């Protein structure tokens, strides 16, 4: 009986250690790339924003490490929230994450909250977008997250450079960007 108790305690410590390691990965502090994140530049027409987006560049995060050819699909639900499906190729395999977004600023529709982990929501601010919704720049108030998105899977280098310059104009450190060129 004593050895069974020791095994249970040892097993519990291993599980607790694994959970603690996972929690530190989830809540690790990311470098700040913008200490003065601006308010979104303009209102968003959600009907036009919904649909398929391709990631052009991002600030690297633990949940996207190793991801290539990242896409995001947004679709309006009957309850007014938005289904979010993010996909990428990681180590040659398809990877997918599903979430739900809700608009928190109905005046501009530019500030949303997104959840991929049950009741935990993160900020998703559409900081700027093309008038024709061909590109968008997404961040959040801490300045630790940034995504540059395009409707085109492979935008021209000139377009990518222009989007990076626009992110810099919004105060973002472009040296932290991971640019995805599939």
Q: Do residues 86 and 169 share a domain?
A: yes
* Predicted local confidence at residue 70, as pLDDT: 95
DSSP annotation string for 46-61:
HHHH-EEEEEEEEE--
Q: Do residues 9 and 52 share a domain?
A: no
CA dist 117 and 8 (Å) reads 29
Q: Do residues 3 and 83 share a domain?
A: no
* Predicted local confidence at residue 29, as pLDDT: 65
The pTM of this model reads 0.82
146, 33 Cβ separation under 8 angstroms:
yes
Domain annotation covers residue 37: no
Residue 174 structure tokens: 């472009």
Domain annotation covers residue 40: no
* Predicted local confidence at residue 181, as pLDDT: 62
CA 148-152-132 angle, 5° bins: 80
Provide the number of structural domains found in the chain. 2
CA atoms within 13 A on the CB side of 65: 6
CA dist 120 and 161 (Å) reads 34
* Predicted local confidence at residue 62, as pLDDT: 87
Length of the chain: 182
Q: Which residues contact 138 (CB under 8 A, 6 or more apart)?
A: 124, 125, 126, 127, 145, 146, 147, 148, 149
Domain annotation covers residue 39: no
Q: Do residues 8 and 75 share a domain?
A: no
Domain annotation covers residue 107: yes
129: CATH:
2.40.128.20
Q: Do residues 13 and 77 share a domain?
A: no
Q: Do residues 52 and 113 share a domain?
A: yes
Domain annotation covers residue 103: yes
34, 154 Cβ separation under 8 angstroms:
no
* Predicted local confidence at residue 66, as pLDDT: 86
57, 67 Cβ separation under 8 angstroms:
no
Q: Do residues 3 and 80 share a domain?
A: no
* Predicted local confidence at residue 34, as pLDDT: 93
* Predicted local confidence at residue 37, as pLDDT: 96
Q: Do residues 22 and 55 share a domain?
A: no
Q: Do residues 72 and 5 share a domain?
A: no
Domain extent for 6: 1-30
Q: Do residues 53 and 23 share a domain?
A: no
Domain annotation covers residue 41: no
Tell me the mean pLDDT per 10 residues along the chain, length 182.
44 36 46 94 97 96 90 97 96 94 97 94 97 98 97 96 98 94 56
97, 63 Cβ separation under 8 angstroms:
yes
* Predicted local confidence at residue 107, as pLDDT: 95
Q: Do residues 62 and 26 share a domain?
A: no
Q: Do residues 69 and 159 share a domain?
A: yes
User: To which residue do tokens 């989007």 refer?
Assistant: 163
């Amino acid at each position: 009986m004593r050895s069974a108790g020791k095994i249970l305690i040892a097993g519990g410590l291993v599980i607790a250690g694994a959970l603690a390691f996972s929690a530190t990965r989830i809540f690790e502090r990311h470098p700040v790339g913008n200490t003065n994140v601006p308010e979104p530049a303009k209102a968003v027409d959600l009907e036009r924003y919904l649909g398929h987006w391709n990631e052009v560049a991002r600030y690297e995060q633990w949940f996207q490490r190793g991801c290539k050819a990242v896409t995001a699909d947004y679709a309006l639900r009957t309850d007014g929230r938005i289904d979010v499906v993010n996909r990428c190729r990681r180590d040659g395999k398809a990877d997918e994450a599903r979430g739900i977004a809700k608009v928190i600023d109905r005046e501009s529709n530019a500030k949303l909250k997104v959840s991929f982990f049950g009741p935990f929501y993160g900020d998703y601010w559409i900081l700027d977008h093309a008038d024709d919704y061909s590109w968008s720049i997404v961040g959040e108030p801490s300045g630790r997250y940034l995504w540059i998105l395009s409707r085109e899977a492979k935008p021209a280098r000139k377009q990518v450079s222009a989007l990076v310059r626009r992110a810099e104009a919004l105060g973002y450190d472009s040296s932290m960007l991971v640019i995805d060129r599939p």
